[in-house]
Amino acid sequence: MNRLIVGNWKMNGLGAALGEAQGVAAGLGGVVARVGICPPATLLERMSRALSGTPLAVGGQDCRAEASGAFTGDVSAEMLADAGATLVILGHSERRAGFGETDALVAAKTEAALRAGLEPIICVGETLAEREAGRAISIVTGQVRGSLPKSLADRPFAVAYEPVWAIGTGLTPTTEQIAEIHAAIREALVGLLGPAGGRAPILYGGSVKPGNAAEILSTAEVGGALVGGASLSAADFLGIIAGA
Ligand code: PEP
């Protein structure tokens, strides 16, 4: 299966940053990986128009589980799709930690993404304290079982393994540690979803840079990458994509 490389711009990017996305699109000739950028919601529609006719997909960074209603400030999966998104990141650790998102809420948001025809990228990952306590595998597989509804079985989706301690820190797990967790996620996915769980890409995320991308992307069961900071620069993001 082709790898999936997705940039998460987080709360970064004004209109002037659209040029970076266009720069990425212009550099995708010959790239077999599927590539996407998830900008802030304010840029989604403009970015999807600017990238129309290119292979670069756009996505949201979160959605509300409900389709519409009195939820001031929130954005539904249907609204993301209406703005041109085909992907949505769900359950990012910044939302789990900063907004109290539970596995059950992430599962409800995943159902919403499927309802709107979006491909969800569901994030899981342990904290440093959990890893040091020897609980990384049980935490991550527990998040997989709690955050992924059974309805994913016949739909495109991805899981992103993002150790919380590796996000934005410049720290990365060893490739052995990545392979160990990805194998455990694969086993949990197959147990949960059957054969479909064997096909979904498992992305790695956390301080992926041009200098470490090729090694990480060639690790067993790594089906792509979720990239934060380095996806804000077309040159850096293309350097990562080149490793796929
Ligand atoms: C992320 O937040 O999803 C992420 C992977 O960030 P960074 O690449 O900056 O560590």
pLDDT tens, position by position, 81-128: 999 999 999 999 999 999 999 999 999 999 999 999 999 999 999 999
* Segments of 87-144 assigned E as strands: 87-90, 119-124
In angstroms, the CA 126 to CA 44 distance is 30
Distance 170 CA to ligand 1 centre (A): 10
88 beta partners: 60, 120
Predicted pLDDT of residue 105: 98
Does position 235 have pLDDT exceeding 70, yes or no? yes
Is the CB of residue 232 less than 8 Å from the CB of residue 12?
yes
Is the CB of residue 1 less than 8 Å from the CB of residue 220?
no
How confident is the model over 53-74, as pLDDT tens digits? 999 999 999 999 999 999 999 9
DSSP letters of 178-233?
HHHHHHHHHHHHHHHHTHHHHHS-EEEESS--HHHHHHHHTSTT--EEEESGGGGS
Distance 9 CA to ligand 1 centre (A): 9
End-to-end CA distance of the chain: 12
Atom 8, ligand 1: residue with shortest CA distance = 228
Residue 43 tokens read as: 């840029």
Short-list 4, 12, 3, CA closest to 233: 12
8 beta partners: 38
pTM, rounded to two decimals = 0.98
Is 119 annotated in the active site? no
Atom 1, ligand 1: residue with shortest CA distance = 228
Q: Name the residue of 121, 212, 227 to mutate for ligand 1: max ligand atoms within 8 A of Cβ.
A: 227
Which of these is catalytic: 92, 126, 130, 182? Answer: 92
**Binding-site residues, ligand 1, Cβ < 6 A:** 8, 162, 167-168, 205-208, 226-230
In angstroms, the CA 25 to CA 29 distance is 8
144-180 in b/e form (b: 16+ CB < 10 A) is bebbbbeebbebbbbbbbbbbbbbeeeebbebeebbb
Distance 191 CA to ligand 1 centre (A): 28
In which band, very low, low, confident or very high, does the pLDDT at 2 lie, cut at 50, 70 and 90? confident
Sequence-distant (≥ 6) Cβ neighbours of residue 45 within 8 angstroms: 83, 84
Is the CB of residue 6 less than 8 Å from the CB of residue 88?
no
Is 45 annotated in the active site? no
Distance 129 CA to ligand 1 centre (A): 19
Which helix (H) or strand (E) covers residue 82, if one does?
Answer: helix 77-82
Q: Determine the average pLDDT of the residues in 199-221.
A: 97
Q: Name the residue of 4, 93, 204, 208 to mutate for ligand 1: max ligand atoms within 8 A of Cβ.
A: 208
DSSP letters of 218-239?
TSTT--EEEESGGGGSHHHHHH
Is the CB of residue 3 less than 8 Å from the CB of residue 217?
yes
Predicted pLDDT of residue 83: 98
Exposure of 16 by Cβ count < 10 A (0-12 exposed, 13-18 middle, 19+ buried)?
exposed
Distance 240 CA to ligand 1 centre (A): 13
